[in-house]
Chain A
Amino acid sequence: MLEKGEIAPNFELNATPDQKINLKDFKGKNVVLAFYPADWSPVCSDQMALYNEMLKYFNKYDAQIIGISVDSVWCHLAFEQDRKLHFPLLADFEPKGEVSKAYGVYDDTVGESKRALFVIDKEGKIAWSYLSPTAVNPGADGILDALENLNKS
């Protein structure tokens, strides 16, 4: 798994069936990447619901939250609409898990992303990363601490 100080690998993935998101688009903004195993599963649903309630806190730190899993765009779309999510979910679908692998957080025994968090600074460098046990929702205290530290430095 990539760690603090490393350059965040660039990528381009679909956020919706006809819209791609490139990490470079966020240069000048902090980015929180949340890799997670699967749409609809209970822990992932709680985790994404929590971030959805926290958007104003991310805004306060000039940060964009982005979820990534190997689910397809159509699955993401249904999940986002059902849970009224107001941030992008990216489909690391084809080639499957390519971006998760680049960040060192692909679980090839189950073919899903691990549950991992990265805070990337405005220059595209990883400022903080955290690997959570798959069954545990990591909450957001670590993310906010990392964003706060960025603002200090």
Chain B
Amino acid sequence: MSTLKPEVSSVDHIQGPSTASIEIVEYGDYQCSHCAHAYPIIKEIQETFGDQIKLVFRNFPLQESHEYAYAAATAAEAAGLQGKFWEMHDALYENQYRFADDLFEELAETIGLDIEQFKTDCESESINKKIEDDFESGIRSGVNGTPSFYVNGNKFDGGPEDLFEMLKESAK
């Protein structure tokens, strides 16, 4: 069984309490339709299990298949520098159907980012490196497509519905 490498740390985007008993790491691509499908299900998992869940998102943009995957990942990371990673993450999945060159700035405005700063950050080498590091960690962890989920460090072989079912079963 493949395991998460490296473990979750402060460089990751984390939602939920650090003490949560269930840690879900998603490797995702903002332009991937399966990831967009998973998005509301993950939200439902978070709502159902509340403080028991810690959610982590790592970038795994499939650039050859998805024209805007990398730009979208950049936008989310740049939003993260202004403390609004999850707002952008959500906005990207909710607007995936209308991805285009000028959409990312529009979303940045919608969620209230400093636009000039956002544009500068989108070009920065540190964001590029963060995305590359996430991608490489995904390969090392055995990501074989998107989304790939890890529960408490172990690769979960199944989709988001299976994940929800598994959590419901184990909560019984």
A53 within 8 A of B: yes
A84 to B140, CA, bound (A): 24
Q: Mark A72-87, 1 if CB is under 8 A from B, else 0.
A: 0000000000011110
A54 to B136, CA, bound (A): 9
A53–B143 contact, CB under 8 A?
A: no
Across the two chains, which residue of chain A brings its CB closest to B145?
A46
A144 within 8 A of B: yes
A46 to B65, CA, bound (A): 10
Which applies to chain B's interface (DSSP): helix, strand, loop or mixed?
loop
Q: Mark A108-147, 1 if CB is under 8 A from B, else 0.
A: 0000000000000000000000000000111111001000
B139–A140 contact, CB under 8 A?
A: yes
How many pairs, one residue from A and one from B, have CB atoms within 8 Å of each other in the complex?
A: 47
Give the size range of A's interface with the partner. 10 to 19
A47 to B143, CA, bound (A): 10
A13 within 8 A of B: no
Q: Select A50's contact among B2, B136, B144, beta carbons within 8 Å.
A: B144
Q: Which of A47, A52, A53, A83 has the most CB of B within 10 A?
A: A53
B62–A139 contact, CB under 8 A?
A: no
A57 within 8 A of B: yes
Q: Which residues of A contact B63 (CB under 8 A)?
A: 53
